Amino acid sequence: MNEPIIILNDLTKQYDQLVAVDHLHLTIYRGEIFGLLGPNGAGKSTTILMLLGLSEPTAGEVRVCGINPVTHPVEVKRKVGYLPDNVRFYDDLTGLENLIYTGQLNRMTKKQAREKALHLLSRVGLSEAAHQKAGTYSRGMLQRLGLADVLMKDPEVIIMDEPTLGIDPTGAKEFLALIVKLSKEESITVLLSSHYLLQVQEICDRIGLFVKGKLIAVGDIASLSRKLFANEPFIIEATVDQLSPISRLQDLKQVLVGIEGVKQIDVQNAHIRIFAAKDITAQVARAIVHTGLDLLSLSKREHGLEDIYRRYFEGDGMEA
């Protein structure tokens, strides 16, 4: 299963002074579910538009199923189903009629399209809403209809931009589960973008962490945190008495800075968090006591998802 399906080579997109996508290298393989995850403004949508031939790269190359979308956009669209972040349908047509219309655009007869549409509506859990106008669908239902719509043309690849945007957490979870099921059953390659790291990561075979136009790490979550925090694998957290004088906390900070291996210190009220290259729990305990502070709790852990979230996605809405 190591056949490259999407290849980005040095891909760059510049808008005037802004480099929205910055020399991106990435290969996605057949059958993979790949998550392009990053905060708002990272350049995810811009990357997706270039993959589809909807935006021209400033530099670099793209191949999708061996096709260059810059020179052959129509061929790419034949193989790739795209679910944009603001998927729209004809409001006055029913869900079924919308899918039949798509089928006919893809050169099916009306009968073929109707059969396929009914089958897909059932697969995405919309059978009961098939004859309801799309204008009455909820956001979650529209996403399901969008998925069915994309499947009408038997795509090799599905690209979804922010697929869970605007769906409640339960609906989002169900929708993500549906994506996994369909992609595994049909061995479709899926590229999805999201700024909900915590929500989306678990369905992805691999993740690329995309920040300010750059892919800063690629892999599964465990290897991602190893790569991102290679120089500071330990987090030591301590709580001291709420009523500790600020001057003592400042003294403590001075002492902590001097401990070998300390990379970063956050002090928030009585809560102290230290990022360190080695396990310095004992030294931290000693420092706190020597400074004359009352130590109430002390713990040590290794970096994980929460820390990736905190560092790169903070302030972006933490929907789980």
Q: Which residues of the chain form contacts with Mg ion (CB under 5 A)? A: 44-45
Note whether 197 binds ligand ADP by CB under 6 A: no
The minimum distance between CB 19 and Mg ion, in angstroms, equals: 16
Q: Which does 46 bind (CB under 5 to 8 A by kind): ligand ADP, Mg ion, none?
A: ligand ADP
Torsion of CA 44, 22, 71, 66, to 10 degrees: -80
The minimum distance between CB 19 and ligand ADP, in angstroms, equals: 9
Look at phi and psi of residue 36 and say left if phi exceeds 0, alpha if psi is from -120 to 50, else beta: beta
Considering beta carbons, is residue 209 or 252 the nearer one to ligand ADP? Answer: 209
Question: Cα–Cα distance between 39 and 78 in angstroms, integer?
Answer: 30
Considering beta carbons, is residue 52 or 270 the nearer one to ligand ADP? Answer: 52
In sequence order, what E strands does the chain have? Answer: 4-15, 18-29, 33-37, 59-64, 80-83, 157-161, 189-194, 206-211, 214-219, 234-240, 262-268, 271-276, 295-302
Considering beta carbons, is residue 44 or 77 the nearer one to Mg ion? Answer: 44
Sort strands 157-161 and 295-302 into parallel, antiparallel or unpaired: unpaired
The minimum distance between CB 215 and Mg ion, in angstroms, equals: 15
The minimum distance between CB 161 and ligand ADP, in angstroms, equals: 7
Q: Pattern 24-53, binding to ligand ADP, x per CB under 6 A?
A: --------------x-xxxxxxx-------
Question: CB neighbours of 272 closer than 8 A, spacing ≥ 6?
Answer: 237, 238, 239, 240, 249, 252, 256, 265, 266, 288
The minimum distance between CB 43 and Mg ion, in angstroms, equals: 8
Which residue from 3, 4, 10, 15 is in contact with ligand ADP, where contact means CB under 6 A?
A: 15
The residues of the shown chain that bind ligand ADP, judged by CB under 6 A, are: 15, 18, 20, 38, 40-46
